[in-house]
Amino acid sequence: MSKPRILLAEDEKVVAADIEECVKGLGYEVVGSAASGVEALRLAVQTEPDLVLMDIKLKGDLDGIDVASALYERLNIPVVYLTAFADVEILERARKTAPSGYVLKPFDDRTLRAAIEIAFDRHRRERELIDGGQRLATAVRSIDEALIVTQEDGQVAVMNHMAETLTGWKQEDALGKSLGDVFTMLNAETGSLQPSPIGRVFREAISIGLGEHNLLLGKYGTSTPIQGSATPVRDGDNGTVGVCLLFRAAGHRARDENWGAPEPACISRLEILGRMTAAVAQKFSSLLEVDDGRGRAARLADRLLAFGQRQPSLPVSVDLNELITGLEDLMRCALGDRIELHTLQASGTGMVKADPGLVELLLMQLAISARENQSAGRFSMETSAIENELSEAGYALVRVSLEGSEHNPAADLPALDEIVRQGSGEIRIANESDGIHIYLPRVIQTD
């Protein structure tokens, strides 16, 4: 394993020599030493060190803070300041360069080692956050619905390609702008300006449909009939910290989905996708903060992408247990941190004939509803095989139950019936005393 490579920037020769000896004694490699700001920049470009120990006072026109700012913006090299200055104004300038640490002179070996190791760890975590955020952004941008995510102040934080196409705004131009500047709706019948949907979402912390008869006014004067939904992005006890807006051109709906309809029973793939994207956006950053979170976050982004790109299809043969296993990451995200997910899969469940996307929607709707209607509890999914004298193959059963909750799953039946109505096949839903039962026709197994 190669040693971490460190560049020194110190204007005093004797001090630089002492620091170099100290750094080498701690087990690091010194790739160079510079006395001026210009020389420090040149060496950094040439050697690409893992870290720079930077004195604030350097020879020449560029001081250490100028150099650190350039390194941060252009090369993403972490910097630890070595300085005898404790002046508030100087430290404030230094803080704006996002340093990975400070060491006040004079210092000993232990203090320097601690500062270097903390700097490496902090930079690694920052990179994971950036890389993870890019992965999530890639997944979001690949979803075939238009998507805009706002911050708590209503400013645009994320747009995908479809949202760029419909609004006429590029993400780089829209970032930081108020949603009202980028997403403007008119009433298709009267031409009057429609209120921004995010106001109600923030006030009531609920998901809402955009309703019917809406025109999206594009940046260059285009007008497109749209339907969609707005969903709160929640952050635990901090409440709503943003809004996820999903929409599409009204003429591009799949079959007769009531996407964006205001009635609570009219649940659509678009609305569920919006609520799932909001849940993933909330969970993503916290995952990247833990040691094994990067891989989990990457899988979550991949799951969201697969879920977002799934289109309605005719029933096919699918392994029910494998389908449920593949959904577990998204299900946990949909349920939040306070609801436990429990799955019990019977080995004899076998293959079923169903639209996989429809099964996913049913389970996601139940998970999201559980999260929005209870603060804690246990969400269970159990599979089993059911014999039926009217069917040679019988049925597979998915039983979904909520324990430790006052929420009655029967309240979800209208939404579940709406989802089933949108598809084809023989899926049946029933409300039983032990939970919601989802019946799917099994496929006859042949040797």
Contact 81, 101 (CB under 8 A): yes
Structure tokens at 57: 């006072």
Phi, psi of 111 (to 5 degrees): -65, -40
Which of residues 15 and 159 earns the better pLDDT score? 15
Boundaries of every domain in the chain? 5-107, 312-447
Nearest to 242 by CA among 151, 138, 332, 112: 151
pLDDT surpasses 60 at 140: no
> pLDDT-based confidence at 153, cuts 50/70/90?
confident
What is the spatial distance between Cα 328 and Cα 175, in angstroms, rounded to a whole number?
A: 32
Report the share of the chain in percent with pLDDT over 90. 12
In the block, residue with structure tokens 């040149």: 42
Average pLDDT of span 67-82: 83
CATH number of 5-107: 3.40.50.2300
What is the spatial distance between Cα 278 and Cα 265, in angstroms, rounded to a whole number?
A: 20
Rounded (to 5) percent helix, strand, coil in the chain: 45, 30, 30
Facing residues of 401 across strands? Answer: 380
Q: For 181-205, what is each residue's pLDDT tens digit? A: 999 999 888 889 988 888 888 888 7
Average pLDDT of span 210-234: 85
Amino acid at 110: R
Q: Against a cut of 0.85, is the pTM above it?
A: no
Question: In angstroms, how far is CA 65 from the centroid of its own chain?
Answer: 34
Nearest to 197 by CA among 141, 246, 234, 235: 246
Return the half-sphere exposure (C-beta side, CA atoms, 13 A cut-off) of residue 89.
0
Which of residues 142 and 305 earns the better pLDDT score? 305
Q: For 395-431, what is each residue's pLDDT tens digit? A: 899 999 888 766 666 677 777 887 787 676 688 888 8
What is the spatial distance between Cα 268 and Cα 422, in angstroms, rounded to a whole number?
A: 9
In the block, residue with structure tokens 């950036």: 130
Q: What is the DSSP letter of 201?
A: H
Residue 337's pLDDT is 78
Given phi > 0 = left and psi -120 to 50 = alpha, else beta, which region is 213? Answer: left
Structure tokens at 392: 């040679």
Which of residues 288 and 71 earns the better pLDDT score? 71
What is the spatial distance between Cα 55 and Cα 12, in angstroms, rounded to a whole number?
A: 10
What is the spatial distance between Cα 130 and Cα 220, in angstroms, rounded to a whole number?
A: 33
Structure tokens at 411: 């309240």
Given phi > 0 = left and psi -120 to 50 = alpha, else beta, which region is 93? Answer: alpha
Residue 376's pLDDT is 76
Which of residues 318 and 282 earns the better pLDDT score? 318
Contact 225, 188 (CB under 8 A): yes
Average pLDDT of span 351-378: 83
Q: What is the DSSP letter of 145?
A: S
Residue 264's pLDDT is 37
Give the burial class of 389: count Cβ atoms within 10 A of its Cβ; 0-12 exposed, 13-18 middle, 19 or more buried: exposed
- In this structure, the dihedral spanned by the alpha carbons of residues 64, 67, 68 and 70, taken in order and rounded to 10 degrees, is 160
Amino acid at 284: F
Q: For 252-273, what is each residue's pLDDT tens digit? A: 544 434 444 333 333 456 567 6
Residue 166's pLDDT is 92
What is the spatial distance between Cα 438 and Cα 429, in angstroms, rounded to a whole number?
A: 5
Facing residues of 246 across strands? Answer: 147, 229
- The chain-wide mean pLDDT, for the chain, equals 78
Q: What is the DSSP letter of 411?
A: G
Q: The dihedral of CA 54, 56, 58, 62: what is its sign?
A: positive
Phi, psi of 131 (to 5 degrees): -65, -40
Nearest to 194 by CA among 223, 155, 157: 223
Strands of the 377-388 sheet, one edge to the other:
339-345, 377-388, 391-403, 435-441, 428-432
Fold for the domain defined by 312-447: Heat Shock Protein 90 (3.30.565)
Contact 58, 37 (CB under 8 A): yes
What is the spatial distance between Cα 173 and Cα 242, in angstroms, rounded to a whole number?
A: 19
Angle (nearest 5°) at CA 432 between 427 and 434:
115
Q: For 296-353, what is each residue's pLDDT tens digit? A: 666 666 667 667 666 667 888 999 999 999 888 888 888 877 888 999 988 888 889 9
